[in-house]
């Protein structure tokens, strides 16, 4: 099959996050299975990527700039929500995997053309999806039971639950070597205030803050200003290879303030038996499972400090570390299992045909 993996968001280096990682890993796996695969993403004209795209546009390629990245063909499309048809014409896919955020107009265009479609809900930001499944013929996949419940409750869209596939070999390190409290993506939405409060209350513990989302200069400057008073916080830029980060981790902190669809960083950490201290919001309870501790997102700082100190006690840490490793190794969470289910959904979408009904999709237990 010719499979196009699309998103209405930008792709690295213009934007980075779990959605982009999942799209890349799925595409590489599908290509390894013998399919012809390409990525399509939104384009910003900022930075070097935007300049290279503008040079291509000057040669008459508008609205598509083509390149290869991460070993894959990549189409960057200016105004992809309005101009999805351009990349569909350029690649002529047999089926499309579509990341959901801001992508409902794209889903409608794909369906209008009768192309088999699998829509992947990576988040529970229903305002950004914007409505029901009218005009969309698709299979729907959610990354957690939480995400699936939000879309079914809000729009009556039923979906199969497939946790985000994590390539364990990209994250695994020998456990028990690190001493740092690792906090990935230090922004307000991800719980920056909680992380700073913990660092202030625990000056004896080293904290490692790791950028993830692409920050503008003023945002990075503001972050550094907030961190400067804390000698026990080290800030490093986003890492293409997260293994050195997890090698430095004693535990991972995920104090998100919003309803995470899953919480990929928790799964990445648990591959190496690293426990997780997280907020009990969204899909994080599913991602953390028994391999960590959950705290109410509105809990006072003292409750977070007490939970952190308890987790670091030798006996408690050993139990949580073992549980984290077991949780990451469960059979239904392996990359191969998840990708097998993705392939099955693609085949089901093809079998549905243009007259199929998305209502056939059932929420997984």
Please indicate, yes or no, whether residues 118 and 221 belong to a single structural domain of this protein.
no
Q: Which CB contacts under 8 angstroms, 24+ apart, belong to 216-223?
A: 219/187, 223/186, 223/187, 223/192
Please count the structural domains in the chain.
2
Within a domain: 143: yes
Within a domain: 213: yes
Q: What is the pTM of this model?
A: 0.90
| CATH code for the domain in which residue 98 is found | 3.40.50.2000
The dihedral through the CA atoms of 146, 15, 70, 273 has a sign that is negative
Within a domain: 353: no
- Pairwise CA distance, residues 161 & 182, whole Å: 28
CB count within 10 Å of CB 280 equals 14
Q: What is the largest CA-CA distance in the chain?
A: 65
Please indicate, yes or no, whether residues 130 and 234 belong to a single structural domain of this protein.
no
Please indicate, yes or no, whether residues 19 and 142 belong to a single structural domain of this protein.
yes
Please indicate, yes or no, whether residues 110 and 186 belong to a single structural domain of this protein.
no
- Pairwise CA distance, residues 17 & 7, whole Å: 12
- Identify the domain containing residue 243 by its residue range: 168-328
Within a domain: 261: yes
Please indicate, yes or no, whether residues 148 and 216 belong to a single structural domain of this protein.
no
Please indicate, yes or no, whether residues 180 and 149 belong to a single structural domain of this protein.
no
pLDDT tens by residue, the chain, 365 residues: 999 999 999 999 998 888 999 999 999 999 999 999 999 999 999 999 999 999 999 999 999 999 999 999 999 999 999 999 999 999 999 999 999 889 999 999 999 999 999 999 999 888 899 888 999 999 999 999 999 999 999 999 999 999 988 999 999 999 878 999 999 999 999 999 999 999 999 999 999 999 987 778 888 899 999 999 999 999 999 898 999 999 999 999 999 998 899 999 999 999 999 999 999 999 999 999 999 999 998 999 999 999 999 999 999 999 999 999 999 999 888 999 999 999 999 999 999 876 554 434 433 33
Within a domain: 56: yes
């Amino acid at each position: 099959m010719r499979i196009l993996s699309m998103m209405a968001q930008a792709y690295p280096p213009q934007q980075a996050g779990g959605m982009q990682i999942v799209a890349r890993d799925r595409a590489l796996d599908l290509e390894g299975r013998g399919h012809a695969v390409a990525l399509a993403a939104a384009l910003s004209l900022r930075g070097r990527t935007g300049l290279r795209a503008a040079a291509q546009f000057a040669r008459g390629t508008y609205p598509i700039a083509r390149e290869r990245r991460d070993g894959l063909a990549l189409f960057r499309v200016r105004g992809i929500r309005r101009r999805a048809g351009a990349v569909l014409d350029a690649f002529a896919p047999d089926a499309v995997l579509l990341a959901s955020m801001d992508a409902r107009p794209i889903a409608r265009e794909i369906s209008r053309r009768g192309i088999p479609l699998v829509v992947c809900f990576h988040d529970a930001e229903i305002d950004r999806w914007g409505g029901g499944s009218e005009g969309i013929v698709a299979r729907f996949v959610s990354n957690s039971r939480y995400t699936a419940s939000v879309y079914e409750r809000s729009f009556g869209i039923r979906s199969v639950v497939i946790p985000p596939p994590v390539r364990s070999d990209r994250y695994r390190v020998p456990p028990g070597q690190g001493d740092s409290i690792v906090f990935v993506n230090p922004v307000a939405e991800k719980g920056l205030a909680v992380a700073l409060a913990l660092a202030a209350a625990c000056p004896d513990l080293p904290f490692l803050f790791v950028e993830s989302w692409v920050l503008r200069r003023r945002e990075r400057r503001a972050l550094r200003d907030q961190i400067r008073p804390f000698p026990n916080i080290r800030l490093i830029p986003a890492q293409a290879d997260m293994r050195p980060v997890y090698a430095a981790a004693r535990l991972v902190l995920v104090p998100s303030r919003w309803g995470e669809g899953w919480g990929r960083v928790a799964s990445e950490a648990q591959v190496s038996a690293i426990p997780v201290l997280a907020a009990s919001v969204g899909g994080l309870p599913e991602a953390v499972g028994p391999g960590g501790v959950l705290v109410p997102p509105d809990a006072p700082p003292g409750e977070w400090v007490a939970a952190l100190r308890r987790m670091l006690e030798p006996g408690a840490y050993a139990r949580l570390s073992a549980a984290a490793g077991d949780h990451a190794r469960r059979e239904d969470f392996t990359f191969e299992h998840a990708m097998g289910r993705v392939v099955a959904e693609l085949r089901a979408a093809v079998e549905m045909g243009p007259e199929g009904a998305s209502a056939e999709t059932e929420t997984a237990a």
